[in-house]
Amino acid sequence: MARFEQPEEEAARSERRHEEESRPERIRQSLDSLQGQLKSVLEQLKEAGFPVGPDCRIDIFEYENSGNDRNYARRLGAEWSAKATPEDVQNKETGELFEIVKTLGVNNHWFEGRLVSVRTSKYDDYVNGVDNLIFDTQTGQPIAAIDDTTGGSKLEDPKVKERIRRGGQIKYGASYNKEEGIIKKSLSKLPVFIISTVNRDLLAMAKDLAANKQGFESTRGVSYILDRLLEQYEKIATGEVKISDKELLDAYHRAGKLFGEL
* DSSP secondary structure letters along 189-247: EE-EEEEE--HHHHHHHHHHHHTT---HHHHHHHHHHHHHHHHHHHHHHTTSS----HH
The pLDDT value given to residue 54: 87
The pLDDT value given to residue 7: 64
pLDDT band at 255 (very low <50, low <70, confident <90, very high): very high
Domain assignment present for residue 15? The answer is no
pLDDT tens, position by position, 27-82: 889 888 889 889 999 999 999 899 999 889 999 988 888 999 999 999 999 999 99
Instruction: Indicate whether 148 pLDDT > 70.
Output: no
Domain assignment present for residue 17? The answer is no
Instruction: Indicate whether 12 pLDDT > 60.
Output: no
Residues whose CB is less than 8 angstroms from the CB of residue 235 and which lie 6 or more positions away in sequence, other chains included: 155, 164, 241
The pLDDT value given to residue 5: 61
pLDDT band at 23 (very low <50, low <70, confident <90, very high): confident
Q: What's the helix, strand, coil split of the chain in %, to 5?
A: 60, 15, 25
The pLDDT value given to residue 180: 81
What's the structural domain count of the chain? 1
> Between these two residues, 12 and 99, which has the higher pLDDT value?
99
Domain assignment present for residue 227? The answer is yes
Can you state the angle between helices 86-104 and 7-33, rounded to 10 degrees? Answer: 70
> Between these two residues, 229 and 199, which has the higher pLDDT value?
229
Lowest mean pLDDT among 9-18, 147-156, 171-180: 9-18
Domain assignment present for residue 20? The answer is no
Task: Give the residue-averaged pLDDT of 124-141.
Answer: 90
The pLDDT value given to residue 250: 94
Lowest mean pLDDT among 66-75, 115-124, 156-165, 219-228: 156-165
Look up the domain containing 199 and give its range: 36-261
Lowest mean pLDDT among 40-44, 96-100, 136-140, 159-163: 159-163
pLDDT band at 112 (very low <50, low <70, confident <90, very high): confident
Instruction: Indicate whether 219 pLDDT > 80.
Output: yes
Domain assignment present for residue 87? The answer is yes
Percent of residues, the chain, with pLDDT higher than 70: 89
Mean pLDDT of the chain: 85
Domain assignment present for residue 107? The answer is yes
Tell me the whole-structure pTM to 2 decimals. Answer: 0.83
Could you give phi then psi for residue 115, rounded to 5 degrees? -120, 150
Instruction: Indicate whether 4 pLDDT > 80.
Output: no
